[in-house]
Amino acid sequence: MIKGSTTQHVFLVLALSLFSSFSIAIPQLNIDPEEGVSTNSPSEQPPRASLVSAGQVKPDPVTDMSASAEKINAAFWLKKLRTALRESHFEAGIMRQKGQKTESYQWLHGTVGEGENKVEVERVSQLVGGVGTMIRRDNTIAFFDSKKEPYAVQGNSIRNFMPPIFYRNAGELIDSYQFVLVSKSQIAGRSAQLIRIESIKRQTYNFWVWIDVESGLPLRMVYVDDEGEAVEQIVMMHLSVYNQHTEEMVKLSTMELPEAPAAVAANQQTNNWIISHIPKGFELIKSDRHHVSISREVSDYYLFSDGLVEFSIYVQRPLDNFTSPVVLTDGATSFVMIHAGGFDVTVIGMIPPETGFEIAKGVSAK
C-alpha cells in the first residue's frame, strides 16, 4: 500500500474508482490471432436470429457468392459500418468485458422524420450502477444521473464504447494503422466480416471489429495487445434491427433536454509545458486549466485523440510521499502517474501502460 498525503490519496482513489465496475464470473474469451475466431464452445441453446452471444464465433460455412461486390477492401466495410451507425434503427444489449469484470448497457438508435425535419436520436443506458443514461439528439448529448443535476454538451456521437472514428472517415487512421481484411465468421447465426486495425508503431493497441454483413452494425470489438491477447472487448449480446423508427425513438426526438452551452475555445492558456512524446496520429483535442474535482488541485489538462482512442495528461504541483511511478490498468485503460522534476504528470487513456509511461516522461517545463 502506498502512503502519502490526503491529496495524493484522493488521486489514487479517483484512479481506483475509474478502474472499478460491476463484476461477475464469466468464461474467458480467447482469440486466435490468425483467424480472429473465439476458441470457446458455442452455447448449447440454439441462438435466435436476432441474438448475438459472447463466445459464439465460428468460421462461416457459407460460400461468399458476392465476394466481388462485398469483399473489395476494408474501406468498403468501414463505410458500411459508418452508414449503419448513422442511419439504422436498432436496439442492442452491450457487454463490455475487462478481464473478469463486465459492464452492461442498453443501446438504442434511430432517426425520426424526413428531409430537413429528420432527427437522429440515440440512448445509452448502463444497466447496473455506473454513469446513468446518456441521450443524444442530433448534436446535443444530455447526461442523466440520479445523483446529479442533468446537463448537456455538444457532440455528434456518444463516446462510450464506440470509437468516434467510426462516425467519420476511418481512412484518417491510414498513417498510424494498417487495415487487414480477414475471413468472415458466424456470430450466433449472423455472418460477420472481421476487420483488423493494426497499430504500425505498436504504441497503441490493435483493434478488431466484426461487422454484421446484413446490417453493417458492430457485433464485436476487441482491443488486442502485441501478443494477440484480448485486453478488453465489447460484444452485442442481442440485436434487434427495425425497418423504421419505434415509438421509443419518437419519444426521444421530442423529449425535453438540458440546453447545451455554446462551444468554447478548446485550448486555453496551458502553454507551460513541452510534451515531446506523442504517438503518431494523435492530435490535441482540448487543453485547459481547471480544478480537479474533490481535491480542488489546480491542474493543466490536455486531451489527445487519434479518432480510435484517447488519452489525457494532467500536470500539477508535486504530491508528497508517493513512490513514482504509479501504474494501474483496467482492461485497455491505463493510469500512469510519475514525479517529473518539480511537478507530477498523470496520463490516463486507452493505451498500453508502456506508452503512457513514455508520454509522462516526455513532459517538461518550458
Q: Are residues 182 and 301 in the same domain?
A: no
Q: What is the mean pLDDT of residues 190-215?
A: 96
Determine, yes or no, domain membership for 128: yes
Determine, yes or no, domain membership for 259: no
Q: Are residues 215 and 73 in the same domain?
A: yes
Largest CA distance in the chain: 66
Last-in-domain residue among 220, 254, 288:
254
Task: Kindly list the distances between the CA atom of residue 91 and the CA atoms of 2, 54, 141, 215, 264, in Å, as whole numbers in the listed order.
Answer: 45, 17, 18, 12, 34
Q: For position 129, what pLDDT does the model report? A: 67
The total number of structural domains in the chain stands at 2
Determine, yes or no, domain membership for 25: no
Q: Are residues 96 and 215 in the same domain?
A: yes
Q: Can you tell me the distance from the alpha carbon of 88 to that of 242, in angstroms, rounded to the nearest whole number?
A: 8
Q: Are residues 246 and 309 in the same domain?
A: no
Residue range of the domain that includes 281:
6-19+264-365
Q: Can you tell me the distance from the alpha carbon of 119 to that of 192, in angstroms, rounded to the nearest whole number?
A: 29
Task: Give the containing element (helix H, strand E) for 286.
Answer: strand 283-291
User: Does 163 score more than 50 pLDDT?
Assistant: yes
Q: Are residues 89 and 10 in the same domain?
A: no
Nearest to 295 by CA among 3, 2, 4, 6: 6
Q: Do the Cβ atoms of 224 and 325 come closer than 8 Å?
A: no
Q: pLDDT, tens digit, for every residue of 21-65?
A: 332 232 334 444 334 333 233 333 323 233 333 334 444 433 333
Alpha-helix residue ranges (DSSP H) falling in the chain: 6-18, 67-70, 74-87, 247-254, 353-361
Q: Do the Cβ atoms of 290 and 301 come closer than 8 Å?
A: yes
User: Does 353 score more than 60 pLDDT?
Assistant: yes
Determine, yes or no, domain membership for 78: yes
Q: For position 72, what pLDDT does the model report? A: 58
Determine, yes or no, domain membership for 52: no
Q: 244-276: string of b/e by CB count within 10 Å (b at 16+)? A: ebbeebeebbeeebbeeeeeeeeeeebeebebe
Q: Can you tell me the distance from the alpha carbon of 69 to that of 66, in angstroms, rounded to the nearest whole number?
A: 5
Q: Can you tell me the distance from the alpha carbon of 19 to that of 88, in angstroms, rounded to the nearest whole number?
A: 33
Q: Do the Cβ atoms of 137 and 119 come closer than 8 Å?
A: yes
Q: Are residues 134 and 231 in the same domain?
A: yes
Q: Do the Cβ atoms of 255 and 135 come closer than 8 Å?
A: yes
User: Does 9 score more than 60 pLDDT?
Assistant: no
Q: What is the mean pLDDT of residues 66-74?
A: 53
Percent of the chain that is helix, strand, coil (3-state, to 5) = 15, 40, 45
Q: For position 16, what pLDDT does the model report? A: 43
Task: Kindly list the distances between the CA atom of residue 74 and the CA atoms of 171, 230, 352, in Å, as whole numbers in the listed order.
Answer: 10, 21, 25
Determine, yes or no, domain membership for 51: no
SS3 call for 300:
strand
Last-in-domain residue among 254, 279, 296:
254
Q: Are residues 212 and 307 in the same domain?
A: no
Q: Are residues 73 and 212 in the same domain?
A: yes
Q: Are residues 165 and 294 in the same domain?
A: no
Grid coordinates representing 360? 509522462
Determine, yes or no, domain membership for 241: yes
CATH number at residue 100: 2.50.20.10
Q: Can you tell me the distance from the alpha carbon of 84 to that of 105, in angstroms, rounded to the nearest whole number?
A: 19
Bond from prior residue into 325 cis (ω within 30 degrees of 0)? yes
Q: Which amino acid is at 308?
A: L
Q: Do the Cβ atoms of 132 and 144 come closer than 8 Å?
A: yes
CA-angle at 178, arms to 67 and 59, nearest 5°: 40
Q: Are residues 214 and 121 in the same domain?
A: yes
Q: Are residues 163 and 248 in the same domain?
A: yes
Determine, yes or no, domain membership for 320: yes
Q: pLDDT, tens digit, for every residue of 90-135?
A: 999 999 998 888 999 999 999 999 999 999 999 999 887 666 899 9
Nearest to 308 by CA among 282, 286, 347, 279: 282
Q: For position 176, what pLDDT does the model report? A: 94
Q: pLDDT, tens digit, for every residue of 263-321?
A: 555 555 567 899 999 999 999 999 988 766 545 678 899 999 999 999 999 998 887 76
Q: Are residues 245 and 271 in the same domain?
A: no
Last-in-domain residue among 203, 231, 254:
254
CATH number at residue 346: 3.30.200.100
Q: For position 38, what pLDDT does the model report? A: 34
